[in-house]
Structure 1
């Protein structure tokens, strides 16, 4: 057992088992039988009404509300649980995943992309290769060159060159003289399809991109079945996905800045942070993220949306008195301008600490990030660690700042709301962090995933955690395994949405291994510590 455990990506859903069937005592049943008069004919049909019998059963309709996504049909199973019948091309327990027809497709010199009609894929050929399987070569007939450019054949059967007219550029002369971006390029809809390093962009509906099918079905912010650079998430410039050393990566694109403002006004979100009122150290609003217009499913967890988790903190440490660089150690949750909630087991008195807020990539400086030293910490008085569990595993970090003003409220930095009461079992919530994944010891990119709250009865079953849990803990995850928090995520948020507002319901604490069947993540139950947290917030 180790404290805190993987941020593996995907949807996690909990199937609640039906409650035990209530029975009738045998003697009572016999007594009713002995006094029944068989000679009496039933006078009304109500004598045959056995509706009272159903009251003896605690029947759970797992299909209400329908847990099946993408128009899946839900059926309750006799033995408990439910089954989703998924329409093509969707699959999975909840029809949450999309089948990958490209696994068996042969696209030769081309890219397999997903489509919304059978057979749900097609080959986009690397010119001059053509045909349904991208194996035939046709250089300049027909010409791939655009905007009146001439196609010139090369020496080999695959070489060609587009001779662009003045003002046009790009491999196919597709980039015109007015192809430029304003600001950070969120409104850019041009035709640049290479990165600043000259790497060719992948189509946004390439099967290599996580959840490319959702991009295709929910095209927003200029994304769709093309490879043009876009900026759907508030990066510093338009970008695209690329192949890098046989792995999926992304990079900024080579888009020039407009020298003259366009004649048509371009509306985009302002990035300048609002200044909080000098008289108050508290943020104006909690639990209201303002991510870019693209939804998080565009990235399927491989690239977290900036501003989607504005309360997420990276708690960074180095040996006290040293000058070595700070390194990510744990997560945290911003709950006030000067206060970060985290896990008690993350605190080491020999560490100097700082927190990073507002960023999503720990390996590069971002305009949205705020780095603030930690002035002091407060560990819960009843925190204790045993071989079986971590009890009352919460702590507060007081950030350095005058008169209760430390972090500044921006679109990328906001506080999470504290809950006012319990939430129902099976509520869908989110976890996020830079912790360990299936492939790496940690992630430099902020990752997120969906989990569900698991009932205390299920979590304390003998095959799960037994009697190791107390009232300071809550279970969340996926009983089948695969989606969990992990090392490096400790202290991070479990947030749940209610009426459009996000509440921090748990703090990543501990668990048995990462993503293992019947071993969901254990979180410190924030409801249990509301008074303790409130007292610290009011201490400034």
Structure 2
């Protein structure tokens, strides 16, 4: 599936995988292909452009240091100042004094030299402030306060350092202390997951896994709010996820005008309450997503990973995204209830038979099955009756998924969750400062003909409708029922976070043959890639629910000045959506 054969041959010559034939990375380094060439992500104990230089390891701090890097260590005679030379440390003693305040945990004592505070840890503890329990072999509860040294994922992959260039985003010193993060790769649970986890490299893609770590068998008391001087083990890699109720039970079919399998006159199924509508509430997101909408278990990455990793989304980051396959074509969509997916009408304008369509949920790698994936047939679909393939007005469609044998469609999990619909029409003049997110399997950079193997993500600002319809932006092509988002200034940075490269062009009513955006269509069909995918924004009140604001409709290349991406404005079609599912 994906591109047609002709497009695939042409597109493959436009993109280059700098790591496919030969990886320059040594010592087990991971090669990541970027628009500028190969980039090596080195194992924790190696450094350099090609991971050839060995770092120094300080056992007291449980930390690696780069060539010529300086640190302080405690020795029997006092404090020593060390410098890394090759894999060895060259140290000299310094004058020391007792610390005025003692930051050391778990009974550690403190010495000061050259303004640096150093902790002498008791037996069984290590780390900069004696916060690592070297004897911990299990964790309690969810593992929120596990501070052991486990650093192996369930698959056997080695955990990646929390402070590396490609993993966790910047946090405050207080957050790092509370979460047990630092310059190490030990398993932790900083986001209230069900058990400790870590980032790992899966091939050339950064991912995350739960850790190979047992749960303590003895019953434990409530976890204290702050770090305790005693050991508090915590979590279990083999705990099953809590059972979750179905999102929506199916209801009897009633006659309608849908494209459906098995009859000339199709039907639509009308659940009594199928919609996840945003409710302004202040409750916190549960660790395991509930049967509500707009929740996700988000593993956060640093901004650097968006450069070296090419905007690759982590598993579970967009549990509402649906991959729609048929013949040699591909589109994206959004799960809005257990049996309902919202996508772009132009994806289905050729009217394929419903039995030709397949929807895959929980997928993060294009056209590849996965353990968490859910594959469902399509029972029927409906295009907006006023959709125009010329102007792309009213570019939305509903897909009714086929129930499983147990009468349910999508089953909620960490990787499959519906997104919320807006609670009502949104003013086109509202402040558009907040960043929203777009996701899909688009091009990683302009000129790349093949779609990304992995799900891509990017943050984009919403732009007021008045600006989008200005003559220097989209002009008359931008009509009511549309919204736009992106970076008006264009440029390299905008291109790096664009999922629009080669996706499509302006509506044909305003497109000339000389327009370079028109030529993009010769490489990539509009019914491929990111089309139909979601533009989501966080609910302003709860700051945890994700609201489906737009459906990817059409765009104008990658990083073009004053040409942000255009989306179908979901809030403008709430009545249509509800009419065709609740009547």
- Measured against the shorter chain, the TM-score band is 0.5 to 0.7
Whether the 8 Å CA contact 1:221–1:293 is kept in 2: the answer is no
User: How far does residue 511 in structure 1 lie from its aligned partner after superposition?
Assistant: 0.9
For the residues of structure 2 that align with 1:396 and 1:536, how far apart are their CA atoms? 9
* 1:365 corresponds to 2:407: no
Following TM superposition, by how much is the alpha carbon of 1:261 offset from its aligned partner in structure 2, in angstroms?
A: 5.1
2:488 aligned to which of 479, 491, 497: 479
**C-alpha RMSD over aligned residues:** 4.7
* Alignment counterpart, residue 243 of structure 2, candidates 237, 256, 272: 272
Q: Deviations over 1:266-303 (max 9, x none)?
A: 88795422245758664585444333375566896656
Q: In 2, Cα distance between the equivalents of 1:309 and 1:202? A: 22
Q: What does 1:344-363 align with in structure 2 at a 5 Å threshold?
A: 344-347=345-348, 348-350=350-352, 352-361=356-365, 363=368
Task: Look up the match of 1:333.
Answer: 334
Q: Which residue of the other structure, out of 547, 554, 561, is the alignment partner of 1:503?
A: 547
Deviation (angstroms), 1:381: 1.9
- What per-residue deviation string (whole Å, max 9, x for no partner) do you get for residues 118-155 of structure 1? xxxxx93279998676324448999xxxxxxxxxxxxx
Is the alpha carbon distance of 1:177 and 1:103 closer, same or farther for their aligned partners in structure 2, counting shifts above 3 Å?
A: closer
2:150 matched residue in structure 1:
192
The corresponding residue for 1:490 is: 531
Deviations 1:505-534 (A, max 9, x none): 211000111232211000112233222222
Q: Shift of the alpha carbon at 1:258?
A: 4.3
Q: Is the 8 A contact 2:486 2:565 kept in 1?
A: yes
C-alpha distance after superposition, 1:47-76 (max 9, x if no partner): xxxxxxxxxxxxxxxxxxxxxxxxxxxxxx
* Whole-angstrom distance in 1 between the partners of 2:546 and 2:298: 18
**Does the CA-based 8 Å contact 1:108-1:134 persist in structure 2?**
no
After superposition, residues 297-308 of structure 1 pair within 5 angstroms as 302=311, 304=313, 308=317
Distance 1:273 1:444 in 2: 30
SS class of match (2:466): helix
- Return the alpha-carbon distance in structure 2 between the equivalents of residues 514 and 478 of structure 1: 11
8 Å CA contact retained: 2:68, 2:85: no
Asked if 1:406 is matched to 2:409, the reply is yes
Q: Which runs of 5+ in 2 are unaligned?
A: 1-46, 58-62, 72-81, 93-131, 224-233, 252-270, 279-292, 504-528
Residue 313 of structure 1, CA deviation: 1.8
**Contact 1:292 1:305 (C-alpha < 8 Å) held by counterparts:** no
Task: Verify: 1:124 aligned to 2:64, yes or no.
Answer: yes
User: Which residue in 2 is equivalent to 1:88?
Assistant: none
Q: More relative contact order in 1 or in 2 (CA 8 Å, sep 6+)?
A: 1
Distance 1:506 1:405, change over 3 A: same
Q: Determine the structure 2 residue equivalent to 1:417.
A: 421
Instruction: Tell me how many residue pairs correspond in the alignment.
Output: 386
* Aligned match of 1:171: none
Give SS of 2:182's match. Answer: coil
Aligned twin of 1:147: none
How many angstroms does 1:375 deviate by?
1.2
Check the 8 A contact 1:370/1:407 in 2, yes or no.
yes
Q: TM-score, normalised by structure 1?
A: 0.58
**Which residues of 2 match residues 72-151 of structure 1 at below 5 A?**
109-110=54-55, 124-125=64-65, 134-138=84-88
Inter-partner Cα distance in structure 1 for 2:174 and 2:301: 14
User: d(CA) in 2 for partners of 1:380 and 1:528?
Assistant: 13
Find the counterpart in structure 2 of residue 375 from structure 1. Answer: 379
Q: Work out the CA distance in 1 between the residues paired with 2:163 and 2:563.
A: 35
Q: Which TM-score applies when normalising by structure 2?
A: 0.54
Say whether residues 1:204 and 2:204 are aligned partners: no
